[in-house]
Structure 1
Amino acid sequence: MSISAPAVPNMPRTNRQAAVLAVCCAATAMASMDTAAVTVALPAIGRGLHGSMSGAQWVVVAYPLTLACLLTLSSSLADLIGRRAVFQIGLTIFAMSSLASSIAPSMGWLIASRVAQAVGGSMLTPVAMAIISAVFTDPGQRVRAIGAWSGSIVLGLAAGPLVGGFLVDAVGWPAVFWINAPIAAVALPLTRLIVPESRSKRPPALDPLDQLLVSGVLGLLVFAITEGPHRGWASPVTIGCLAGSVTCLAALLRYAPRHPHPLIDPRLFRSAPFTGAFVIAILTSAAMGGFLFLNTFYLQEIRQDSPLATGLALTPMALAMLLFGPMSRRLIARRGARRTLTAGAVLATTAAATLTATFNANPLPLTVYAIFGAGLGLLHTPLTATATAGLPPPQAAEAASLVAMSRQIGQTLGIALIGSMIAAQPDALTSSTTFHPPAHLSWLTITTLCAATLLITRISTAPKRINTVPD
Structure 2
Amino acid sequence: MAVLIVQIDATAVNISLPSIAKELHASTSQLQWIVDAYLMVLASLLMLSGSLADRFGQRRMFAIGISIFGLGSLLCALSTSPNMLILMRGLQAIGGSSMGPIALSIISKVFTDKKEKAFAIGMWGTVLGVGMGLGPIVGGFVVADYSWQGIFLLNIPIVIIAVPLIHKVIPLFDDKQVRSIDVLGQILAIIFIGSLTLTIIHCGEMGLSDPIVKVAGVIALISGFVFLYVEKRVKEPLLEITFFKSIPFSIATFIGLIEFFSYAGFVFVASLYLQDYRLIPPLEAGLLMLPLAAANMVFAPLSGLAVGRWGTRLPMMAGGTSLIIGAVLLIIEVDIPELYFLLAAWFVGMAMGMANSSITVIAVTGMPNHRAGVAGATAATARQFGQSLGVAVLGALLNGRMHAGYPFTHAATAGWYLLLALGILMVVLSWITGMAFAQRSAQRVQATF
User: What TM-score does the superposition give when structure 1 sets the normalisation length?
Assistant: 0.88
Judge which range, 406-415 or 369-378, deviates more.
369-378
Q: Equivalent pairs: percent with the same residue?
A: 32
Q: Secondary structure at the match of 1:201?
A: coil
- Conserved? CA contact 2:51–2:374, under 8 Å: no
How far apart are 1:80 and its partner, in Å? 2.7
Say whether residues 1:89 and 2:64 are aligned partners: yes
Alignment of 1:118-129 (within 5 A): 118-129=93-104
Task: Output aligned runs, 1:335-414, within 5 Å.
Answer: 335-358=310-333, 360-365=335-340, 366-388=342-364, 390-395=366-371, 397-414=373-390
Contact 1:352 1:447 in 2 (8 A): yes
Aligned counterpart in structure 2 of residue 453 of structure 1, from 418, 422, 426 = 426
Q: 1 CA distance for matches of 2:357 and 2:141?
A: 28
Higher RCO (CA 8 Å, separation ≥ 6 residues): 2
Paired residue for 2:400? Answer: 424
1:340 counterpart SS class: helix
Residue 63 of structure 1 is matched in structure 2 by 38
Query: How far is 1:99 from its partner?
Result: 1.1
Q: Which residue of 2 aligns with 1:286?
A: 261
Q: How far apart are residue 274 of structure 1 and its match?
A: 0.5
CA distance in 2, matches of 1:200, 1:402: 20
Q: Distance in 2 between matches of 1:388 and 1:88?
A: 22
Structure-2 residue corresponding to 1:103: 78
CA distance in 2, matches of 1:116, 1:219: 15
Larger C-alpha radius of gyration, 1 or 2?
1
Q: Is the 8 A contact 2:140 2:283 kept in 1?
A: yes
Find the counterpart in structure 2 of residue 51 from structure 1: 26
**1:167-186 Cα distance to aligned partner (Å, 9 max, x none):** 11111111111110010011
Equivalence for 1:437:
410
Question: How far does the alpha carbon of each residue in 1:230-268 deviate from its partner, in whole angstroms, 9 at most, with x for none?
Answer: 343122221111111111121122211211111111111
SS of residue paired to 1:360? coil
Distance 1:150 1:316 in 2: 17
- Which residue does 1:301 correspond to in 2? 276
Cα deviation, residue 374, structure 1: 1.5
1:20 matched to which residue of 2? none
RMSD after superposition: 2.3
Deviating more after overlay: 33-42 vs 404-413: 33-42
Greater shift, 37-46 or 417-426, is seen at 417-426
Kept in 2: contact 1:76–1:203 (CA 8 A):
no
Q: State the alpha-carbon separation in 2 of the partners of residues 140 and 348 from structure 1.
A: 27
- Equivalent AA in structure 2 for residue 350 of structure 1: I
| CA shift for structure 1 position 376 | 2.2
Instruction: Classify 1:32/1:235 alpha carbon distance in 2 versus 1 (closer, same or farther; 3 Å).
Output: same
Structure 2, gaps ≥5 residues long: none
Secondary structure at the counterpart of residue 467 of structure 1: helix
Distance 2:377 2:110 in 1: 19
CA distance in 2, matches of 1:186, 1:201: 27
Using the alignment, how far apart are the partners of 1:321 and 1:140 within structure 2? 20
Cα drift, residue 319 of structure 1 = 0.4
Change (3 A) 1:372 1:133: closer
Bigger shift: residues 221-230 or 350-359: 350-359
Matched, 1:464 2:437: yes
Amino acid at match of 2:144: D
The corresponding residue for 1:162 is: 137
Matches of residues 309-348 of structure 1 in structure 2 within 5 Å? 309-348=284-323
Q: Measured at CA, do residues 199 and 409 of structure 1 come closer, stay the same or move farther in structure 2, by a change above 3 Å?
A: farther
SS of equivalent to 1:381:
helix
For residue 208 of structure 2, give the secondary structure of its aligned residue in structure 1.
coil
Conservation of the 8 A alpha-carbon contact between 1:390 and 1:467: no
8 Å Cα contact 1:84/1:131 also seen in 2: no
Question: What secondary structure is seen at the aligned counterpart in 2 of 1:203?
Answer: coil
The structural deviation recorded for 1:464 is 3.0
Shift of 1:377: 1.2
Aligned length: 443
Q: Is the contact between residue 43 and residue 382 of structure 2 (CA under 8 Å) also seen in structure 1?
A: yes
Match of 1:184 in 2: 159
1:39 corresponds in structure 2 to 14
Question: Alignment partner of 2:177: what SS?
Answer: coil
Q: Deviations over 1:11-35 (max 9, x none)?
A: xxxxxxxxxxxxxxx1111111111
Gaps of 5+ in 1: 1-25
| Equivalent residue letter for 1:247 | I
Q: 1:236 to 1:342 in 2, by over 3 A?
A: same
Please give the alpha-carbon distance, in whole angstroms, between the structure 1 residues aligned to 2:318 and 2:330.
18
Task: Give the direction of change, closer, same or farther, for the CA distance of 1:274–1:146 in structure 2 (3 Å limit).
Answer: closer
CA–CA separation in structure 2 for the residues paired with 1:380 and 1:426? 33
Q: 1:218 aligns with which of 165, 168, 193?
A: 193
AA in 1 matched with 2:352: L
- Counterparts of residues 185-200 of structure 1 (less than 5 Å): 185-198=160-173, 200=175
Deviations 1:132-173 (A, max 9, x none): 555667887666554443332223122211111111111111
For 1:46, the aligned partner's letter is: A
Closer/same/farther in 2, CA of residues 145 and 357 from structure 1, 3 Å limit: closer
TM-score normalised by L of structure 2: 0.92
Contact kept? 2:119, 2:308, Cα under 8 Å: no
The answer to whether the 8 A contact 1:83-1:199 is kept is no
**Pair 1:277–1:139, CA change in 2 (3 A):** closer
Stretch moving more, 150-159 or 197-206: 197-206
Pairing 1:117–2:117 present = no
Give, in angstroms, the shift of residue 300 of structure 1.
0.4
Alpha-carbon offset, residue 194 of structure 1: 4.7
Report the alpha carbon displacement of residue 396 of structure 1 after superposing the two structures with TM.
5.1
Q: Partner amino acid for 1:320?
A: A
